[in-house]
Amino acid sequence: MAMKKRRYALVIDSRKCINCKACVVACKAENGVAVGNFRDWINEDRQGEYPKLRMDFEPEQCHHCESPSCVRVCPTGASWQRKDGIVLVNYDECIGCRYCMIACPYDARYFVEETGVVDKCTLCSHRVDRGDVPACVETCPSKVRIFGDLEDPASRIHELLATRRYRVKEPQTGNGPQLYYLL
Amino acid sequence: MGTKLMDRRLFLQAAGVTAGAVATVQVGCLSYFKKGRSAAADNREVPTTCELCPNKCSAIAVVEGGFVKKLNPNPENPKSRDMLCARGNAAIKQVYDPDRLKQPMIRVGARGEGKWKPVSWDEAFDFAATKLAEVKAKHGPEASLWSSTEGFQEVFFKNLGLAFGSPNLVRHPTLCLASVNLAYSATFGTVPSFDLLNSKFVIMSGANRFESIITPDTMDLIGSVMERKAKLVYLDPRFTVTAAKADEWYPVKPGTDLAFILAMIHVIIKENRHSKDFVAAYTTGFDQLAEHVKQYTPEWAEKETEIPAADIIRIAREFSDAAPRALYYAGRRSSWYQNDFQMRRAQAILNAIIGNWDQPGGMVPNAKLPKGEFLFMPWDEPKAARVDEIEKHFPLAAKGDGVYLKLRENVLSGKPYPVKAWMVYKQDPMNAMPDQAKTLKMIEQMDFIAVIDVHMSDMAWYADVVFPESTYLERTDPVEVMPGIWPAVVYRQQVVKPIHDTKPNLEIVQGLAKRLGLSDYFDFTIEQWVEAEFKELPIPMAAEHMKKHGVWAASGQPSFGKTLNPDHRFVTKSGKIELFSERLQEAGYDGLPVYTAPVPPPSDRFRLILGRVGYFTHANQSNNIWLNEFMKENDLWINPKPAERLGIKNGTYVTVTSSVGSVKLKVRVTEEIRPDCVFMLHGFGKKSKMQSLVYNVGASDAVILETAWDKVSGNAAFHETFVKVANA
């Protein structure tokens, strides 16, 4: 029997982000990310002159691209992509050359000095594989991120992308990023 | 790091499948055993209740190999819903913090010098009991002060103070929310919740709900404002995250919110927009109110608040149009100005006259749930009157909480009587009270100080003995009922055994009680206490349920309007909602809120204002390594205009000086604050070297804050300090 095709993605409703950092700490705990490294983060944009001001937040992490440049440039095949779209690093094959860090348009990867390998967001594949959502998605007070399967017409993200305007970051790279920011 | 974790996870999965997974172990995890861990992997999920702030969110602790690896939100809690904030997630680092108190210690150097001798529990108990007995013999039991803050095990500490014979228990409310509690109680006879979820029009003064996270209010506000297009009008001298998300932000002149509210009441009554049926059926004193607010026109309020009169009129109209799904949100930390009680009273009155009481989208009296009580031996009431003279100076204030700043004044003056022993549980008066130099004087004149805490707070740093408490993940605590629109019962059970030589507060209290001859009052175990509480919970198989789920909430939707029948008696003198309050007048206060303009800062000074961010609430959280990463040092916010005038550049250091102290802070030149204010964050500049990430880093607001309090509630007024800022 053929496996059902899946394509995981995140829809992000940045307006609801309050910059509380819950997602960042949840990721640290869930994935054992060392102090000083971050697999997800929140961009801040503060503009204007008192008292006409605005302040916007935008959570970001690996975009788990359709055609990931990090995977293309990896000389050993350590950076690889699952059939469901999740981009991972095979630590045993990573030689720490860091080409992928340069190739990533989103600066989503970091080098771990202690182990000599590159690491990044796994979209909590270990949680996803047992049917849970990624830790950043779950812990958020305002539920900014919506996780789902684009191949599933019944999914919430399928509906959101069909009915709402959105943008992706750095589309010109041809990477086909899979973090969809609602407008 | 990533590799190690992956291996461990694979190992744990394998070990979970087969009991004799020795082969897997040899392949994957030799180092794992070299560290002496058990071959039978300790993998569990344990529901518990977070203790990093007073919200009491439900969490599920994931234990892997005997370690707390992750805390997941427990969606069964209707208050915390399905979230856990940054602080909650970082609770793991409280357990495994290298700075933790790991065994009892007795001071050997001078106070604050940081020289400690690790001692046995017996030695620490004996030492403290001897000192307490000395103070009692010399000055009486009332010469002991028992300071504590909210927590499930606080009850045991308070009871020890009372059994010892001291009337001097002093708690956090007068450094936090006493004015708002008293103002709503004086008006409605109770402190309601605010149904932000269903509201269509919300006004907030300062209560920065998107950075000062309160459950479920923060999430409900996101829901109502972002998803259901409720309107949010926000007043704050600072452009906070809440200001950024609001439909309208007014950088109100500090201390004038009362003028804005009184003018809104003026407009609503003048234009006949109040809920006449509700006012007639449920309130008293409307005519006096109508007469009283005639003077408070929007044009007058514009001059006070700097909010245009046309906007005040429009907001008053929109607000009353949205009623009853409209509310003026009360907020939580209400320790701002010396008129704070009356400002909160005015909010309560405004809410009352639009008839949002006990309505969806309005104010809702809290529903409660029954809980059993463990019956312990009662003690004689303490004989002496309180040292803060609360009855005389604050006759309406909550007696059991005391009045912190007045208490400090009296202890320092030695009148009406001397206080010579200071017992502290889970609180850091060094940073929680304004004017740290004064707190240090209070410390100096104590014969004995003991602190019970999980970490070496600044207060502990100055103690004579410290008793290390187990963190919440290492303890089982009493059961807590959380009243609310949707009430719940939460339970905190031990997730892992204490990793150091620490004890839960009950056992610390029992150790002291035994040596003070008070054992009879504490002759029970936490299990017995909890069993008694479980017994009367309205849940079948309560103990089993709470252990399995950690939380229980009634099913179905919350109900509204239970108090909306003409026979309902409010717990006020008149039995009605008191717009005009005779009780206040009899106590010598204004029966209706009277506005007095705040004194503006002199031209060479700024008003210092305070606030929080989502990842720090309490002073101790800046030393949590996962939270400290977001801000390693606090800074001083200053508007570019005055910064330019003073030649102050972004990123340089300045001295910030008030009448009581001076601190050095890095400067953040930002458009996000009024030109007449400066702002700093709480929780830095520690004196304790065992807060290693923030020891001597940044500055503590407590050093420069001056002593001032609200006249009615005694609540500290933290925004009444003027400071000079100069290049360092």
What pLDDT, in 10s, does the model give residues B197-225?
999 999 999 999 999 999 999 999 999 98
Asked whether the predicted pLDDT for residue B32 surpasses 50, the reply is no
Q: Residue B556: its pLDDT value, please?
A: 72
For B26, residues 6+ apart whose C-beta sits below 8 A from its C-beta are none
A41 and chain B in contact, CB less than 8 A:
no
Is the model's pLDDT at B22 over the cut of 80?
no
Cβ of A135 under 8 Å from any chain B Cβ? yes
Cβ of B90 and A142 within 8 Å? no
d(C-alpha B363, C-alpha B560), whole Å: 10
- Chain B closest-CA separation from residue A177 CA (Å): 24
Of A15, A35, A126, the CB nearest to B629: A35
Whether residue A141 lies inside any domain: the answer is yes
B648: pLDDT strictly greater than 60: yes
B82 with A15: Cβ contact below 8 A: no
For residue B24, pLDDT beyond 70: no
What is the percent of chain B where pLDDT is above 70?
95
Confidence band (pLDDT; 50, 70, 90) for B557? confident
Closest CA to A143 of A126, A130, A160: A160
Smallest Cβ–Cβ distance between B86 and the set A20, A32, A50 belongs to A20
pLDDT at B34 over 90: no
> How far is residue B78's CA from residue B675's CA, in Å, rounded to a whole number?
41
The reply to whether residue B673 touches residue A50, judged by beta carbons under 8 angstroms, is yes
| A25/B627 CB distance under 8 A | yes
B55 contacts in chain A (CB < 8 Å): none
**Model pTM score:** 0.94
Place of tokens 């205009």: B641
Three-state secondary structure readout of B322-390: HCCCEEEECCCCCCCCCCHHHHHHHHHHHHHHCCCECCCCCEECCECCCCCCCCCCCCCCCCCCCCCCH
Taking contacts as CB-CB distances below 8 angstroms, the residues of chain A near B640 are 50
Non-local (6+) Cβ contacts of B181 within 8 A are B173, B191, B398, B713
> Average pLDDT of A37-51?
98
B3 chain-A contacts, CB cut-off 8 A: 91, 115, 117
pLDDT digits (tens, 9 = 90+) for B411-443: 999 999 999 999 999 999 999 999 999 999 999
| Cα–Cα distance measured from residue B284 to residue B591, given in angstroms and rounded to the nearest whole number | 12
Q: Is the pLDDT of residue B309 over 70?
A: yes
Burial class of residue B359, CB neighbours in 10 A (0-12, 13-18, 19+): buried
B453 burial via Cβ count (<10 Å: 0-12, 13-18, 19+):
buried
On chain A, the residues whose CB falls within 8 A of the CB of B615 are 20-21, 25
Q: Give start and end residues of each alpha helix (H) in B18-85.
A: 22-28, 30-34
Q: Which residues contact B596 (CB under 8 A, 6 or more apart)?
A: B339
Contact residues, chain B, for A141 at CB < 8 Å: 81, 83, 85, 213, 218-219, 222
Do the Cβ atoms of B278 and B355 come closer than 8 Å? yes
Cα(B708)–Cα(B705) distance, integer angstroms: 9
Determine whether the interchain pair B2/A91 forms a contact, defined as Cβ–Cβ distance below 8 Å.
yes
Does residue A42 form part of some domain? yes
Would you tell me which residues 401-440 of chain B have a C-beta closer than 8 angstroms to some C-beta of chain A?
none
How far is the CA of B445 from the CAs of B26, B143, B414, in angstroms?
61, 12, 10
Residue B364 above 60 pLDDT? yes
Q: pLDDT value at position B7?
A: 37
Q: How far apart are CA B199 and CA B222, in angstroms?
A: 12
Q: Give the pLDDT band of residue B29 (cuts 50, 70, 90).
A: very low
pLDDT category of residue B248 using cuts at 50, 70 and 90: very high
Q: Could you give the CA distance from residue A104 to residue B679 in angstroms, rounded to a whole number?
A: 38
Q: Which of B7-16, B239-248, B539-548, B629-638 has the lowest mean pLDDT?
A: B7-16
Let me know if residue A13 belongs to a domain. Answer: yes
* A123 shares contact with chain B (CB less than 8 Å): no
Q: Is the CB of residue B219 less than 8 Å away from at least one CB of chain A? A: yes
- B6 has a pLDDT exceeding 50: no
Q: Does A20 touch chain B (CB under 8 A)?
A: yes
Q: What is the pLDDT of residue A2?
A: 59
Please give the mean pLDDT across all residues of chain B: 93
The 10 Å CB-count burial string (b at 16+, else e) for B22-43 is eebbeebbeebeeeeeeeebee
Nearest beta carbon to residue A53 from set B6, B71, B671: B671
Q: Residue A42 is part of which domain span?
A: 8-182
Query: Considering only residues 244 to 283 of chain B, which have any Cβ-Cβ distance to chain A shorter than 8 Å?
Result: 244-245, 249, 251
| A49/B249 Cβ within 8 A | no
Burial class from Cβ neighbours inside 10 Å (0-12, 13-18, 19+) for residue B501 reads middle
Distance CA A144, CA A137 (A): 7
Average pLDDT over residues B295-305: 98
State which H helix or E strand residue B260 sits in.
helix B257-270
Q: What is the pLDDT of residues B598-639, one digit of tens each?
A: 999 999 999 999 999 999 999 899 999 999 999 999 999 999
The answer to whether residue A1 is domain-embedded is no
Q: Is residue A75 in some structural domain?
A: yes
Is residue B388 predicted with pLDDT exceeding 90?
A: yes
Is residue A143 in a domain?
yes
A2 inside domain: no
Kindly provide the b/e burial profile for residues A104-117, where b requires at least 16 CB atoms within 10 angstroms of the residue's own CB. Answer: bbbebbbbbeebeb
pLDDT score at B150: 93
A78 touches chain B (CB under 8 A): no
E-only strand ranges, B616-681: 635-638, 653-657, 662-669, 677-681
User: In B649-663, which positions are buried (b, 16+ CB within 10 angstroms) versus exposed (e)?
Assistant: eeeeebbbbbebbeb
Q: Pick the residue with more confidence: B556 or A39?
A: A39
What is the predicted pLDDT for the residue at B19? Answer: 34
| C-alpha–C-alpha distance, residues B217 and B367, integer Å | 16
Minimum CA–CA partner of B612 in chain A: A20
String of DSSP letters for B613-627: BTTB-SGGGGGSHHH
Chain A residue numbers with beta carbons less than 8 Å from the beta carbon of B675 are: 50
What is the number of structural domains in chain A?
1
- Note whether B67 contacts A: Cβ–Cβ < 8 A: no
- Mean pLDDT value of segment B668-693: 98
| Helix or strand (DSSP H, E) at A105 | none
Q: What is the mean pLDDT of residues B120-146?
A: 98
**Residue A3 domain-assigned?**
no
A-facing residues of B in 556-615 (CB < 8 A) are: 614-615
Q: In this model, does residue B281 exceed pLDDT 70?
A: yes
Q: What pLDDT is stored for residue B466 in this prediction? A: 98
Residue B554 pLDDT: 82
Q: Look up the CATH number of the domain holding residue A19.
A: 3.30.70.20
Residues 6-25 of chain B whose Cβ lies under 8 A from any Cβ of chain A:
6, 9
Residues of B in Cβ contact (< 8 Å) with A19: 241, 614
Do A173 and A105 form a contact (C-beta atoms < 8 A)? yes
Residue among B62, B71, B79, B83 nearest B489 (CA): B79
Beta bridge partners of B44: B63
Give the confidence band of A3 by pLDDT, cuts at 50, 70, 90: low
Point out the residue among B89, B239, B244 whose CB comes nearest to the CB of A22. Answer: B89
Residue B272 clears pLDDT 90, i.e. is over it:
yes
Displacement of CA A52 from its chain's centroid (Å): 33
Which residue on chain A is closest to B209 by alpha carbon? Answer: A18
Say how many CB pairs under 8 Å bridge A and B: 134
State which residue of chain A sits closest to B67, comparing Cα positions: A29
Q: What is the mean pLDDT of residues B274-282?
A: 97
